[in-house]
Structure 1
Amino acid sequence: MTQAASEPSGNDILHGDISATLKRMTVPMIFGMITLMTFNLVDTFFISMLGTAPLAAVSFTFPVTFTVISLAIGLGIGTSAVIAKALGGQSYEEAKFDASVALIISSVLVTLLSLIGLLSIDGLFSLLGANQEVMPYIYDYMSVWFFGAVFLITPMIGNSILRASGDTKTPSIIMGLGGLVNAILDPILIFGFGPIEAMGVKGAAIASLIAWFLGVIIILYLLIVKKRLLSFRSRYTSFYNATKKILTIGLPAAGANMLTPIAMAVLTAVIARFGPEAVAAFGVGSRIESIASMLVLALSMTLPPFISQNFGAQNYQRVQLAYKKTLQFVLLFQLAIYLVLLLSSDLIASTFGNEAEVVDTIKVFIYILPLTYGLQGVIILTNSSFNALHKPMNALVLSVIRLFVFYVPFAYIGSQLYGLIGLFVGAAIGNLCTAVVAYTWFNRALNKITGIPSLETR
């Protein structure tokens, strides 16, 4: 599989300096994610100008939209793990065939899930606690979003194919371009401009749809014409076998990712008891979390290909060292991010909240939960590393432990005892407990595979 000269080569991934290689792979992803997530915050800002009800409506959609996105992420994880391992073992023809199969099956599965969602909007959001005030806004947004979800999946899987080969610069450019298009179209379609009538929250969804469609055109051109990373010819495998390999990792990974919006839906229903202002503030807090955790999310896309390629080449020592170095860096970096958020909490809260209660709740969120973002990073990176080692069930069980043994139960108990403050504190304690479990489990699992002593004993 060909790569741009500026990207880490397979030799870099398998033999180069670990820290330097991961840095070269991750920095472009951070740039792309900063651009994309900044534009997503702009999206939230424009919607907040419509009032609390539209902002709360879009906040209600997060668990649902993330369910579909989680399926796409899981399939991308499976795609990346399978292709990267094949590349590490120098099976280039197999890698190209697997990439083609991944694009087809992911499109079919996301289309089916979106169709189910489209037909059950009313019942689904009623279960989440949405009232009649916000339901019209939810329908306007989700009717467009579900229709366009098929255009979201292709760029996501295509980017996973590129990252598996070590090319992280191109996916970052595609992500940034999509975010830019969305940000430009948002105010035009939400508030109207010239002959274009104001569409409100539906305009925000249409802006996303257009950006996704542009991404489809770009990624297919790159994969088929420019880089020639797709092929339907393989002497060593079949469509069925390729599908089985991808889904064996992709479906458990998707299931693990889908647990997050399910847990968020439960949490949103709990928060809804405190009023729409609390739901609106929590929605803003979720967007803040995405920005604050951008390094972790970038590493969760670049560390797995590194681990999978070295796993395929049986470079087990490099797998262990990459995991250890990455976690150490993330813990220190996220602590610095927390301090920045503390210093800017007033500005952030006043920017995205247009009512005093919303502003106050956003500030409370910032004071508590971001303190454990480094621990959350340990959990996320351990999950992605399990998938990279082709241990998807470990990642799935870890997600269940995090969300339904620690995170949601502790948050609920906290809310019963001390209201919203207790909820946030409980969620933070849940992150701490899960991080300890994740780190210990991964070290023992790696030791079992490789025979290398676990990190905590070295």
Structure 2
Amino acid sequence: MSQKAVTKMTMTDGDIRQILVRMTVPMLFGMITLMSFNLVDTFFISMLGTKELAAVSFTFPVTFTVISLAIGLSIGTSAVIAKAHGSGENSAAKADGLAALWLSAYLVMALSLVGYLFMDPLFRLLGAQDDTLPFIHDYMSWWFFGAVFLITPMIGNAVLRAAGDTKTPSLMMACSGVINAVLDPILIFGWGPVPAMGVEGAAIASVISWLVSFGLILYLIVYRRQLIDKGHQPFREFIAISRRILHIGLPAAGANMLTPLAMAILTAVMASYGAHAVAAYGVGARIESIASLVVLALSMTLPPFVSQNLGAGQMSRVQAGYQMCIRFVLGWQFAVYLLLAIAAWWIALWFSEDPAVVGLIRSFIWILPLGYGLQGIVILTNSSFNALHLPMRALGLSVIRLFVFYVPMAWFGGKLFGVLGVYSGALLANVIIAAIAIYWFRRTLAELQIGAVPVKA
């Protein structure tokens, strides 16, 4: 594909289905590859011992907070730049991309510095003990140092997606995962002249893979594709653009953080039914992350399509693209449910030999995945609200879904029927919130078409 074609790829005309398929398939490939190599990373660390694995597990809430901020910023970046492309304002899109890179760098460096300076009290607050803190230091000292090299490629990939290119971001994810997987055993266990570095080696392997992605993404978007300006724009312009990105990015980051909070509450609910219930729920969460990969890929490719068509004033294409994705997700996830239901017996035995755990895993598979298509509707509606520059509606939908319906109905179902009631309550919540999401989005599109909802530039 030529440089000009990539730089000015438009989603405001042409076959909608072909556009979405062309964008989603590469993104799905990249996500599968990255997830696979992340599992490899966890496997190698687990070989070091329980304390090392526990230490890295303690780092998750901290790293997830920083990454959630980056995801929010990437959502804001994609929405702002895609709208500019759709409006034909390519020079504004370049300025927006430059500001997004500097904004993310400033925020992540500040968070990393605070995290590094207060590492001990922070992780003690999370429950870390003296036997795990040295390993946490080994890992997080490098993680904080390299965080900006992790976040910049995420923002750069958002710039590419906003321009209609999802193939390059998927290759970047795959490349980073491969480098990390290759370096992990060498740096963790040692090889030839390279000494064994344990947990610290795992962190260094990650930072090296991030550095490679960092260099590649800057070369691509600044020099080869020329999707962003060089240098640093005047301070006033930087602040104005940053406000527009944060207007979408901060609520999106907040919404992203709500899911693990809700899952933590449900885990506590499960704990009241015993360790076997927690174990089964943990397995179910892993199954959900894999079974919903297509939905997650669509949630990254539909927003640029929506934002570009918003910028071009093509609201009928927004509605058509949204409805097409909803129909596809319902059909796809039902097919996934049938496969999981048929294989439930073998899947449960693969994860556990405890009869109580096995029974609950099977029940989970037979009940909750039936609602994954409905859950997908909520995820796609959420991302589409952000793409329409209506982040508070996206945040509101997340709050309503998780804390008005999902968690309360799962808890109430558990009080009535035990663990199976928790599963059933969560399924019923997905039915209700999916209907609310569809109604709210259709109403929003109608309001936008008559100018009732102001959309920030």
TM-score by length of 1: 0.85
Contact kept? 1:384, 1:395, Cα under 8 Å: yes
Are the aligned partners of 2:40 and 2:181 in contact in 1 as well (CA < 8 Å)?
yes
> For structure 1, which segment, 144-153 or 419-428, has the greater mean C-alpha deviation from structure 2 after superposition?
419-428
Judged with a 3 Å threshold, the aligned counterparts in structure 2 of structure 1 residues 228 and 278 are, in CA distance, closer, same or farther, namely farther
| Alignment pair present for 1:449 and 2:443 | no
How far apart, CA to CA, are the structure 1 residues paired with 2:326 and 2:280? 30
Contact 2:363 2:420 in 1 (8 A): yes
The one-letter code of the counterpart of 2:249 is: G
Stretch moving more, 123-132 or 71-80: 123-132
**Offset of 1:360 from its aligned partner?**
6.4
Structure-2 change in CA distance of 1:25 and 1:361 (3 Å): same
CA deviation map 1:160-195 (0-9, x unaligned): 000000111111100111111222233444444455
Which shifted more, 129-138 or 242-251? 129-138
- How does 1:203-352 map onto structure 2 within 5 Å? 203-231=201-229, 238-271=237-270, 285-345=284-344, 348=347
Distance 2:357 2:46 in 1: 11
Show the counterpart of 1:23: 21
Name the residue aligned to 2:454.
none
- Give 1:145-164 correspondences, 5 Å limit: 145-164=143-162
Describe the shift of the 1:317–1:352 C-alpha distance in structure 2 as closer, same or farther (beyond 3 A): same
Change (3 A) 1:183 1:228: same
| Aligned residue pairs, count | 449
Once superposed, what is the RMSD of the aligned Cα atoms?
A: 3.5
User: Do the aligned partners of residues 171 and 143 (structure 1) sit closer, same or farther apart at CA in structure 2, a change above 3 Å counting?
Assistant: same
Distance in 2 of aligned mates of 1:122 and 1:272: 28
* Residue in 2 that maps onto 1:385: 384
> Could you tell me whether the CA contact under 8 Å between 1:316 and 1:450 is conserved in 2?
yes
CA contact (8 A) 1:61 1:142 kept: yes
What residue number does 2:439 align with? 440
Moved more, 51-60 or 106-115: 51-60
Residues 178-237 of structure 1 deviation map (CA, whole Å, 9 limit, x = unaligned): 1112222334444444555555555444433322222111111111221111215889x8
Q: Secondary structure at the match of 2:164?
A: coil
Q: Which residue is equivalent to 1:76?
A: 74
Kindly tell me: are residues 252 and 4 of structure 1, through their superposed partners in 2, closer, same or farther at Cα, counting changes over 3 Å?
farther
Distance between the aligned counterparts of 2:100 and 2:302, measured in 1? 20
Compared with structure 1, are the counterparts of its residues 97 and 380 closer, same or farther at alpha carbon in structure 2 (3 Å cutoff)?
same
The more displaced of 411-420 and 316-325 is 411-420
Matched residues in 2 for 1:147 and 1:361: separation? Answer: 42
Deviations 1:141-171 (A, max 9, x none): 5454444322211010000000000111111
Moved more, 440-449 or 61-70: 61-70
Show structure 1 runs of 5+ residues with no match.
453-458
Closer, same or farther in 2 for the Cα pair 1:270/1:64, shift >3 Å?
farther
Deviations 1:375-416 (A, max 9, x none): 221111101100111111100111111122122333344455
1:404 aligns with 2:403: yes
1:172 aligns with 2:174: no
Identity between Structure 1 and Structure 2 (%): 60
Contact 1:411–1:423 (CA<8 Å) still a contact in 2?
yes
| Cα distance between partner residues in 1 of 2:361 and 2:50 | 14
Alignment-derived partner of residue 33 in structure 1 = 31
Q: CA deviation at 1:136?
A: 6.8
Range with greater deviation from structure 2 (81-90 or 354-363)? 354-363
Question: Distance in 2 between the 1:365 and 1:208 partners?
Answer: 34
Contact 2:303/2:386 (8 A) holds in 1: yes
**3-state SS of 2:150 partner:** helix
Q: Which residue of 2 aligns with 1:455?
A: none
Q: 1:49 to 1:308 in 2, by over 3 A?
A: same
Instruction: Classify the secondary structure of the residue corresponding to 1:104.
Output: helix
Give the CA deviation at 1:267.
Answer: 3.7
**C-alpha deviations, 1:294-331, integer Å up to 9, x for none?**
21111111111111111111111101000000011011
Q: 1:242 to 1:6 in 2, by over 3 A?
A: closer
Counterpart contact for 1:191–1:200, Cα < 8 Å: yes
Tell me whether 109-118 or 277-286 shows the greater mean CA deviation: 277-286
- Read off the aligned partner of 1:171 and give its amino acid letter: P
Query: Any conservation in 2 of the 1:56–1:277 contact (CA below 8 Å)?
Result: no
Asked if structure 1 preserves the Cα contact closer than 8 Å seen for 2:10 and 2:86, the reply is no
Supply the distance in 2 between the matched residues of 1:422 and 1:138 (Cα, whole angstroms). 38
1:348-367 matched pairs, under 5 angstroms: 348=347, 365-367=364-366
Q: Which residue of the partner structure matches residue 106 of structure 1?
A: 104
When residues 150 and 377 of structure 1 are mapped into structure 2, their CA distance, relative to the original with a 3 A threshold, is: same
Change in CA separation of 1:371 and 1:163 when aligned onto 2, cut-off 3 Å = same
- TM-score by length of structure 2 reads 0.85
State the Cα distance separating 1:374 from its structure 2 match.
Answer: 1.3
Q: Which runs of 5+ in 2 are unaligned?
A: 452-457
- C-alpha separation in 2, matches of 1:87 and 1:297: 24
Contact 1:129 / 1:269 at 8 angstroms: preserved in 2?
Answer: no
Kindly state the Cα deviation for residue 347 of structure 1 after the two structures are TM-superposed. Answer: 5.6
- Secondary structure, aligned partner of 1:214: helix
Contact 1:333–1:374 (8 Å) recurs in 2: yes
1:322-358 deviation digits (Å, cap 9, x = unpaired): 0000011011111222233344456655666698877
Give the 3-state SS of the residue equivalent to 2:389 in structure 1.
Answer: coil
What secondary structure, in the 3-state scheme, does the structure 1 residue paired with 2:12 have? Answer: helix
Distance 1:127 1:371 in 2: 38
Tell me by how many angstroms 1:446 deviates. 0.8
The verdict on how the C-alpha distance between 1:443 and 1:272 changes in structure 2, with shifts beyond 3 A counting, is: same
